[in-house]
Amino acid sequence: MGGVIAGLRRLSYIEANFFSEDAVTQIRQKLLVLYVHSPDLHSAAVAWSLYDGTGQDRSSSGDSEEPPYASVVAAMQDGWRVVQFPQQYPAYPGMEYNTSYLKYEYILEKMEEIHGG
């Protein structure tokens, strides 16, 4: 019973922050788009974009040599949630060496609290 009450208290806290205009703490979304080498979640990140709804990070795509995370799993271990997996298409014979768009795009999100009035 104590776990249920604690869960309800947490839910009340979240609702208060989402729906109260006077709340000091608000929740904002950050999006991370990771392009990886293969569909494996452990595959190395080869390109990325970060969109920060908190307003705390002003970085831009391509402004660093290293991705923010080595793989999708590494981002998940830091609290990012996968919200979209890449669609898988069958490989056509003879297309193994053709270049195209980056196929393995994962979209991740992280919800963060911001403090302000």
- Cα separation, 19 vs 78, in Å, equals 27
Q: What is the value of pTM for the model shown?
A: 0.67
% of the chain residues with pLDDT over 90: 39
* 64: pLDDT strictly greater than 70: yes
**Phi, psi dihedral angles at 116 (to 5 degrees):** 180, 180
Distance of alpha carbon 47 from the chain centroid: 14
pLDDT digit string (tens) for 31-50? 999 999 988 999 999 999 99
- Cα separation, 8 vs 21, in Å, equals 21
Q: Note whether 70 and 44 are within 8 A (CB).
A: yes
